[in-house]
């Protein structure tokens, strides 16, 4: 059994909150540069150049890439041979968020109740998804999620007979309806299978992959390519002002499902596609 | 598609010159307002109470900035999704709101009211909040400070970069440009 003081977690989470919100990921920078080369629309190219410039200014001036520094979403893989000391793990993560959002001058965007809507003042509570895994390490993935893009996400319970064609059509329709709202160029996370909530989680998790990385399975690699093509054929383009870069990437994750069902979730992310991870 | 420099207060005459697709640099005073602030403004109108600023010929920026660090004017300050304000916008257009800055689509009702009352909708680049913050030279809270990032703030801006998306004739750049680049089979939604 490895003992781990939760202070280590608090410190790590505080740093991750600030880093993810201020430094645009290198994977996104690379994807934007490649897209500029391929973009037909002059306005589209100019917008992506400005997004790259924005990323430089954010670092130079120590300012968030985007004012919507998101709800703090975590995927945490906890090795079952760790015993935490000095406090409670979930509370430690929330304390890290509290400190990161305060010290990093990040926006507090969380209301304590969805209908009564009073701001919690410190961006907590975080949304935390835990997995228990073998080993004595803890992997923390932090992906702050803005709601311009979150609001454009959708889930649908397809019929098994709808098959791949049904998935393609649903993803296309969801991105089309989103139009300029989620700050394209977007990253699209698609979760297929499981149950309703599992599909949504897969879609969210797909957004934490390195931009442009492929699914490990050959079938899904091909599906990701088809989906990216379909989405970019919509013509929405950067900021919805036309072009062939509507999405930087489409990431698909799949899971076994029930004989009667084909759940599909589409989680849309803005260009910043913020995600950082650390293993302790 | 011209490049123009404009100033607040924004007059009807000036707005009529702006066409969808124009690149515009705005200087002067604008006011922030998003979801919760719009609800309060509309409630104040319904009760006949005074508004936090003069609506006629003004420009509203849909934004909830991140907090300023010591020494900074404002934090990151890019546009939020405008469509959420659609149901609360027509009464402001009726009172002479001349310009709106945000990102994303507007409802048909808003576009019709824009045409009727002569108003313009600008897009700022969503996700470029740090870049945009550099065009803001002063920020001062004017109302609803309890709303935190949603409070109404007066911003002094200098050459604030925007694109005219919907002009006062109702021409919509989102619709006209997308069609130029679409390569669809045609079975999806016109």
Domains of chain A: 2-19+65-144 (3.30.360), 147-273 (3.30.1330)
Looking at residue B1, what is its pLDDT? 82
Which structural domains are found in chain B, ordered by start? 3-179 (3.20.130.10)
Give the residue among A81, A51, A4 at the shortest CA–CA distance from A245: A51
Average pLDDT, integer, range B118-144:
97
Q: Tell me, what's the pLDDT at B186?
A: 54
For the record, the structure tokens of A91 come out as 């509370």
Rounded-to-integer distance, Cα B103 and Cα B82, Å: 6
Q: For A231-246, what is the mean pLDDT? A: 97
Ordered DSSP codes for B78-143: PPPBGGGGGGGTHHHHHTT--EEEEBS---HHHHHHHHHHT-EEEE--TT-HHHHHTTEEEEEEEE
DSSP A47: H
Chain B CB contacts of A68 under 8 Å are 64, 78, 80, 129
Q: Is B7 a catalytic residue?
A: no
Question: Could you give the angle at the alpha carbon of B141 between the alpha carbons of B34 and A123, nearest 5°?
Answer: 60
CB atoms within 10 A of CB A279: 12
Asked if A66 and B76 come within 8 Å (Cβ–Cβ), the reply is yes
Token pair recorded at residue A194: 């499981």
Between CA A28 and CA A35, with CA A31 as vertex, the angle to 5 degrees is 135
Shortest CA distance to B134 belongs to which of B155, B152, B158, B150?
A: B158
Q: In degrees rounded to 5, what are phi and psi of residue A142?
A: -120, 125
Contact A66 B64 (CB under 8 A): no
Specify the DSSP class assigned to residue B47.
T
How far does CA A226 lie from the centroid of its chain? 21
Answer for the pair B153, A221: CB distance below 8 angstroms, yes or no. no
pLDDT above 90: percentage of residues in chain A: 100
- Paired strand residues for B30: B155
- Among partner residues A50, A67, A181, which is closest to B105 by beta-carbon distance? A181
Q: Decide if A241 and B64 are in contact by the 8 Å CB cutoff.
A: no
Residues 6+ apart with CB under 8 A from A2: A79, A81, A82, A83, A136
pLDDT digits (tens, 9 = 90+) for B168-178: 999 999 999 99
Catalytic hit among B15, B37, B38, B98:
B38
Q: What's residue A125's pLDDT? A: 98
Distance CA A124, CA A40 (A): 42
Residues of A in contact with B72 (CB under 8 A): 61, 63
Cβ atoms B152, B142 nearer than 8 A: yes
List A78's β-bridge partners, or say none.
Answer: A132, A138
CA distance A252 to A225: 10
Give CA–CA dist A240/B165, Å, rounded.
Answer: 10
Mean pLDDT of A124-140: 98
pLDDT-based confidence at residue B188 (cuts at 50, 70, 90): low
**Interchain CB distance below 8 Å, B64 and A107:** yes
* Nearest alpha carbon to residue A142 among A94, A104, A194, A84: A94
Task: Give residue-wise pLDDT tens across range A262-271.
Answer: 999 999 999 9
Residue B123 forms contact with A (CB below 8 Å): yes
Mean pLDDT of chain B: 95
Closest CA to B23 of B6, B40, B45: B6
The pLDDT score that the predictor gives to residue B184 is 73
Q: Of B80, B105, B134, which is closest to A57 when you measure between CB atoms? A: B134
Residue to test with chain B: of A35, A41, A56, A68, most B Cβ within 10 A: A68
Between A119, A151, A271, which is nearest B81 by CB?
A151
Q: List the one residue out of A110, A240, A114, A260 whose CA is nearest residue A182.
A: A240
Give CA separation, B38 vs A5, A150, B144, B150, B152, in Å.
46, 21, 11, 9, 9
Interface test with A, best of B107, B122, B126 (most A CBs within 10 A): B126
A100-108: average pLDDT: 98
Contact B127 A272 (CB under 8 A): yes
Q: Give me the pLDDT at residue A212, please.
A: 86
Residue A240 has pLDDT above 60, yes or no: yes
Task: Please compute the mean of the pLDDT values over residues A57-74 and round it to a whole number.
Answer: 98
Say if A214 is an interface residue toward chain B (CB within 8 Å): no
Looking at residue B190, its pLDDT comes to 45
Q: Is the pLDDT of residue A244 over 80?
A: yes
Report the run of H or E that residue B61 belongs to, with start and end: strand B59-61
What pLDDT shows up at residue A202? 98
Chain B positions touching A271 (Cβ under 8 A) are 127
CB-based burial of residue A7 (10 Å sphere; 0-12 exposed, 13-18 middle, 19+ buried)?
Answer: middle
Give the residue among A74, A78, A83 at the shortest CA–CA distance from A135: A78
pLDDT tens digits, residue range B9-56?
999 999 999 999 999 999 999 999 999 999 999 999 999 999 999 999
Share of chain A above pLDDT 70, in %: 100
Q: Between residues 215 and 244 of chain A, which touch chain B (CB distance below 8 Å)?
A: 233-237, 239-244
Q: Which two tokens stand for residue A41?
A: 């629309």
Contact call for residues A245 and A259 (beta carbons, < 8 A): no
Q: Which is it for the CA torsion B144, B38, A274, A126, positive or negative?
A: positive
* DSSP label at residue A82: E
- Band the pLDDT of B187: cuts 50, 70, 90: low
Of the residues A42, A240, A243, the best mutation for testing chain B's interface (the one with the most B CB atoms within 10 Å of its CB) is A240
Give CA–CA dist A111/A123, Å, rounded: 8
Closest chain A C-alpha to B171 CA, distance in angstroms: 13
Contact flag B163-A43 (C-beta cutoff 8 Å): yes
How do residues B48-102 score in pLDDT, each as one tens digit?
Answer: 999 999 999 999 999 999 999 999 999 999 999 999 999 999 999 999 999 999 9
């Amino acid at each position: 059994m490895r003992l781990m003081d939760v202070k280590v977690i608090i410190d790590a989470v505080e740093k991750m909150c600030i880093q993810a919100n201020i430094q645009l990921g290198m994977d996104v920078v690379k994807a934007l540069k490649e897209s500029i080369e391929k973009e037909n629309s002059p306005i589209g190219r100019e917008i992506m150049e400005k997004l790259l410039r924005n990323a430089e200014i954010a670092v130079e001036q120590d300012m968030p890439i985007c004012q919507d520094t998101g709800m703090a979403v975590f995927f945490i893989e906890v090795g079952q041979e760790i015993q935490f000391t000095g406090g409670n793990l979930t509370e430690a993560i929330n304390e890290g968020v509290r400190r990161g959002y305060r010290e990093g001058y990040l926006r507090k965007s969380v209301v304590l109740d969805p209908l009564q809507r009073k701001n919690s003042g410190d961006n907590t509570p975080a949304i935390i998804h835990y997995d228990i895994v073998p080993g004595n390490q803890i992997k923390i993935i932090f992906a702050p999620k803005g709601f311009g893009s979150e609001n454009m996400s959708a889930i649908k319970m397809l019929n098994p007979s709808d098959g791949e064609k049904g998935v393609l059509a649903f993803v296309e329709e969801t991105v089309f309806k989103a139009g300029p709202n989620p700050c394209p160029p977007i990253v699209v996370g698609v979760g297929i299978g499981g149950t309703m909530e599992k599909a949504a989680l897969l879609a969210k998790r797909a957004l934490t992959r390195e931009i442009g990385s492929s699914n490990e399975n050959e079938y899904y690699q091909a599906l990701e390519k088809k989906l990216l093509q379909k989405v970019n054929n919509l013509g929405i383009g950067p900021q919805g002002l036309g072009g062939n870069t509507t999405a930087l990437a489409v990431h698909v994750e799949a899971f076994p499902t029930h004989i009667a069902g084909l759940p599909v979730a589409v989680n849309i992310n803005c260009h910043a596609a913020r995600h950082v991870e650390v293993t302790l | 598609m011209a490049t123009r420099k404009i100033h607040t207060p924004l007059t009807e005459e000036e707005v009529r010159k702006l066409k969808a697709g124009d690149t515009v640099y705005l200087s002067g005073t604008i006011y922030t307002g998003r979801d919760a602030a719009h609800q309060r403004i509309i409630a104040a109108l319904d009760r006949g109470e005074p508004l936090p600023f003069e609506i006629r010929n003004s420009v509203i920026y849909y934004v909830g900035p991140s907090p300023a660090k010591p020494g900074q004017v404002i934090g990151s300050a890019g546009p939020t999704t405008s469509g959420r304000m659609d149901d609360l916008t027509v009464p402001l257009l009726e009172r002479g709101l001349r310009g709106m800055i945000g990102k994303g689509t507007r409802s048909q009702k808003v576009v019709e009211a824009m045409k009727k009352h002569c108003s313009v909708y600008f897009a700022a680049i969503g996700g470029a909040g740090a870049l945009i913050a550099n065009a803001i030279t002063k920020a001062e809270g004017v109302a609803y400070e309890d709303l935190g990032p949603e409070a109404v703030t007066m911003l002094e801006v200098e050459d604030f970069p925007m694109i005219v998306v919907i002009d006062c004739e109702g021409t919509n750049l989102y619709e006209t440009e997308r069609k130029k680049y679409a390569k669809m089979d045609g079975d999806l939604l016109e």
